[in-house]
Amino acid sequence: MVLSILNTEQPVSLIAEVALLSPPFVTLSYSLPKVFVPEFWKVGQRVVLPLGSGVRIGVLLALKPQTEITNNSQTKDIVLKDLIWSLDKKSFFSESYLRVLIQLSHRLFLPIGQILASVLPIGLRSNQLKLCVFNGQKPKKYTLKELRFFDEETYRKLAELWASGQGGIIERNINTLENELCELCVDPPWAVRPSAKRQIALLELLWENGALNRKIIQDKLGAEANESLKRLSELGFVKVRPAQGEEAEADEIQKIWEKVPLNEEVSAFELTNAQQEVVDKLKDSLDTHQRSSHLLHGITGSGKTVVYLELLKHCLAQGRSVILLAPEVALAIKLKNDLQKRFPQQKIILSHGYQTPTLRESIFRQVSEAQEALVIIGTRSSLFLPLKNPGLIILDEEHDASFKQDEGLVYQAKELAYAIVQEYNAMLLLGSATPDIKSFQATKQGRLTLHSLPERVGGGTLPQVELVDIRHLTPTDGILAKPSQEALLETINKGEQAVILLNRRGYAPLIYCMQCSEPIKCPHCDIALTYHKARERVVCHYCGYNYAFPAPCPTCKSLNFVPFGEGTEKLEESLSGILPPDVKILRLDRDNARRAGRMEEILAAFARKEAQVLVGTQMLSKGHHFPDVTLAIVADADLGLNLPDYRATERSFQLFVQSAGRAGRGSKAGKVLIQTRNLNHYCWDYVKSTDFSGFFEVELQKRKRMKYPPFTNLALIRLSFPVEWKEGYKAMELFAEIYKKEAETLDVAVLGPAPAPLSMLRGRRRYNCLLKAQNWQHIRRIFQVGLQSNPFKDKIRMHLDLDPVNMM
């Protein structure tokens, strides 16, 4: 029985199609070695294959009868090479899983191998593995390349050991340097001597990138970094710990949340009538085991999470798995914590892109091997876990832009989730207080079923919204107008809390050189550098370029600067001048929430009322619940309204309503002040009355008129070339012609290529070409033609972004 995978007599007549997990990511055909029975090979296994003079790893996509291949006259004479070995005894991926990814690969116009490679943790696609066999003696290890060149007899012996269960442990040579994580323990300014340049470089590196392993640090800063690391860890500025401790770290963060009481809406065991009605309908739908898609529109504080929890329980009872997605890691951890309190016995897997490769690998394996129904909570990348039987996928805060991945593999989590529920006959539930206008339109067209929770749990009312005119404020005035300051003081005097939202981090967004009459800019991105006071540096928010400041102007060497504008860091500082000295202010933005657990600490401290005011970027508009907040101030509403993006108003509307949702969630009434110079904008009436359908109607009419989604399909071809390459501009004209010519025969509107709003990034000039069409296929066609006729492949980079979320 144990030898059943070995072949004795039957000829092997199957051909394997394998997707390569390394460049060029193509799908190739291989024959199967005669030593194994055909059943040894399974679709979804990771396999070792010969290519050129080396070996590679691939995923077995299909097994086809030889006749099917040889009937094709073109390939008749090709002699195929044998696969070498299989890395998995069972399929690692199910056929359904592969079908979903193949569909995605068609949509994104990328080879399936490239998609698999970008979703698999490094350890699962590395060819630096060893095959280990036990022969009653010391285990013997072979590299994969050695396997390729064994003579038939040795190969057969290995196969026999493998078949009898004496082999198969495959391990990666883990570089010990990769397994030590170094992380910052203190925020800037750091108390090190200015002459300690190496220490400062290391601190800056960790500040910009978060925890890094020692190998990356050495690669970036050289071996001397070890000395600095030693010194800084003695000082307690940096901690070095084993990378596998990440699970423990997540537990640490969880502990911070545990001190925060559950939202009333989650802790209540009684459902409200509205919740019960929605839950009943959705449960009925789950019971049919038919694919279905729903939108849950629940106003802020209406208890959407409770609906999720009830459905999750129901789905698990059916023996099917659940994926619950949040727009960011902190919210995912919070959700996991809430859920764990409600279901203490249930094992819940947390999954997100910031986990170490080692941890991600172990989660991938765990999910692939699981027999029981699982609960996964995480961010968008969790959809790529190889779950066997998903029954329910929930996207909370579905309107959030973070569900679209912009860099690397460009995909929209909602579309991927939709494809998964189609494949598995599962349910997709999108939830939001401010749905995406496309989702809203889909409910009108019957592609999503709409459910509503129109009231706050506990009968709380939505806050009153008022506009504050800031047209008279000059750049050197403080950013808070008088009425806002007064409202803030009044709130604090009543012993209540306030949040102030300013979507601009740092101290001063512009450092103006009086001599040059120009702001200092990033040399790689042509974007003004932001001054960060605590770090004593100016920083590019696009590429991270930074240097110590004050320093002479890079152009004229003068030291005559004027800072302009106000970021969160400055706002925090100027508030302490306005408010009584005993008032505590907390700040939450990407700068001071860089260290793991820091964001949770800040939010938890605010929830415990250790401060009266919380200042922050849009991070704080998302899903947090503070019962004593009765005032929310949006410090500069125009920042978002003026963005060069067709969704600027929609996004701003969502942000305002979400920010308003932070106020008055407890028993006390709330108030929202929105500071703007744009008092006549049409969105205000709808913001004030939180009239979603009214806003959507107006916005949809505008989109229809301007031919924007959801009335057309929109795509961006992103082109870029090195700044120093002068012929680049000519080349862009050439592409304009190529695209236009191709578009003539298809029904596609082509705009550009024109310089992107962010026209330079990381030393490259950026151009965008906007395509509008009814048919996605036509858009892909135009991209393909450009790709194939690119005469400057080494200079011009080209990406297709379907339904772009980021227009910059």
In the window 170-189, what residues touch Zn ion (CB under 5 A)? none
Residue 525 within binding range of Zn ion, rule CB under 5 A: yes
The 454-493 site mask, x for binding Zn ion (CB under 5 A), equals ----------------------------------------
Q: Which tokens is 335 given? A: 């959700």
One-character DSSP codes across 566-603: --HHHHHHHHHHHS-TT--EEEESTTTT-STTHHHHHH
CB of 752 to Zn ion, least distance (A): 23
Q: Is 312 in the site for Zn ion (CB under 5 A)?
A: no
539 touches Zn ion (CB under 5 A): no
Q: CB of 720: closest distance to Zn ion in angstroms?
A: 14
- Identify which of residues 142 and 542 has a Cβ nearer to Zn ion in the complex: 542
- Please give the structure tokens belonging to residue 201: 């470089």
When asked if residue 551 is in the footprint of Zn ion (CB under 5 A), the reply is no
516 annotated to bind ligand: yes
Among 287, 374, 384, 279, residue whose Cα is nearest residue 322: 374
Rule CB under 5 A: is residue 529 a binding residue for Zn ion? no
| Collapsed DSSP state (helix, strand, coil) of residue 266 | helix
Shortest Å, Cβ 536 to Zn ion:
19
Nearest approach, Cβ of 506 to Zn ion (angstroms)? 14
Q: Which of 155, 545, 721, 767 binds Zn ion (CB under 5 A)?
A: 545
Question: How far, in Å, are 210, 537, 724 from residue 203 at the CA level?
Answer: 10, 13, 32
Instruction: Return the residues of window 497-516 that contact Zn ion according to CB under 5 A.
Output: 513, 515-516
* Closest separation in Å from C-beta 542 to Zn ion: 5
556 near Zn ion, rule: CB under 5 A: yes
Instruction: Find the shortest distance in angstroms from Cβ 407 to Zn ion.
Output: 15
Give the nearer residue to Zn ion in terms of CB position, either 4 or 560.
560
Alpha helices in 326-473 (DSSP H): 329-342, 357-369, 413-424, 437-444
> Which range touches Zn ion (CB under 5 A), out of 48-56, 268-276, 481-489, 549-557?
549-557
Rounded to 5°, angle at Cα 560 from 559 and 563:
110
**φ and ψ at residue 400, rounded to 5 degrees:** -70, 135
Nearest alpha-carbon partner for 681 in 640, 644, 649 = 649
CB of 584 or CB of 762, closer to Zn ion: 762
Q: Which part of the chain contacts Zn ion (CB under 5 A), choosing from 419-427, 533-541, 701-709, 792-800?
A: 533-541
CB 723 to Zn ion: min, Å:
12
- Asked if residue 543 belongs to a known ligand binding site, the reply is yes
41 near Zn ion (CB under 5 A): no
Pairing of strands 613-616, 585-588: parallel
Does 553 sit near Zn ion (CB under 5 A)?
Answer: yes
Supply the minimum distance, in Å, between the C-beta of residue 537 and Zn ion: 13
Q: Which of 323, 507, 334, 529 lies closest to 430, judged by CA?
A: 323
Would you say 525 is a known binding-site residue? yes
Q: Which stretch binds Zn ion (CB under 5 A): 443-451, 543-551, 590-598, 745-753?
A: 543-551
The nearer residue to Zn ion, 339 or 538, going by C-beta atoms, is: 538
Task: Kindly state the tokens that stand for 154.
Answer: 């040795």
> Across-strand partners of 431?
296, 396
d(CA 120, CA 676) in angstroms, rounded, equals 46
What is the pairing mode between strands 238-242 and 613-616?
Answer: unpaired
Both tokens assigned to 397: 């805060």
Which member of 4, 70, 290, 555 binds Zn ion (CB under 5 A)? 555
Beta pairing partners, 772: 714, 749
In this complex, which beta carbon is closest to Zn ion, that of residue 183 or of residue 518?
518
Q: Is residue 141 within the footprint of Zn ion (CB under 5 A)?
A: no
Does residue 435 have a cis peptide bond before it, meaning omega lies within 30 degrees of 0? no
The whole-angstrom separation of Cα 578 and Cα 573 is 9
Tell me whether residue 185 is annotated as binding: no
User: Side chain identity at 767, as an amino acid letter?
Assistant: Y
Indicate the pairing of strand 449-453 with strand 292-298: parallel
Query: Considering only residues 140, 289, 313, 524, which one is a binding residue for Zn ion as defined by CB under 5 A?
Result: 524
Task: Please count the other Cβ atoms lying within 10 Å of the Cβ belonging to residue 66.
Answer: 15
Looking up tokens 């492949």 gives 793
Q: How many CA atoms lie within 13 A of 47 on its CB side?
A: 32
By beta-carbon proximity to Zn ion, the closer residue of 5 and 522 is 522
Count of CB atoms situated within 10 Å of the CB of 803 = 17
Q: Judge whether 508 and 568 are in contact, CB under 8 Å.
A: no
The stretch near Zn ion (CB under 5 A) out of 369-377, 391-399, 524-532, 782-790 is: 524-532
The answer to whether residue 157 forms part of the interface with Zn ion (CB under 5 A) is no
In the complex, the smallest distance separating the C-beta of residue 194 from Zn ion, rounded to whole angstroms, is 23
Give the chain's radius of gyration (CA, Å).
Answer: 29
Q: Per rule CB under 5 A, is residue 559 in the interface with Zn ion? A: no
Report the candidate in 493, 508, 536 with the shortest Cα–Cα distance to residue 207: 536
How would you classify residue 284: left for phi > 0, otherwise alpha for psi between -120 and 50, otherwise beta? alpha
- In the bound state with Zn ion, the residue whose beta carbon lies nearer, of 256 and 538, is 538
As measured in angstroms, the least distance from the Cβ of 532 to Zn ion is: 14
Q: Find the part of the chain contacting Zn ion (CB under 5 A) among 232-240, 248-256, 532-540, 702-710.
A: 532-540
Q: Nearest approach, Cβ of 557 to Zn ion (angstroms)?
A: 7
Q: Does 561 bind Zn ion (CB under 5 A)?
A: no
Here the tokens at position 807 are 């227009």
# binding residues, Zn ion (CB under 5 A)? 13
Rounded Cα gap, residues 789 and 798, in angstroms: 12
Min dist. Cβ of residue 555 to Zn ion (A):
4
Give the residue ranges of the annotated binding site. 513, 516, 522, 525, 540, 543, 553, 556
Interface with Zn ion by CB under 5 A: which residues?
513, 515-516, 522, 524-525, 540, 542-543, 545, 553, 555-556
Give the residue ranges of the annotated binding site for Zn(2+). 513, 516, 522, 525, 540, 543, 553, 556
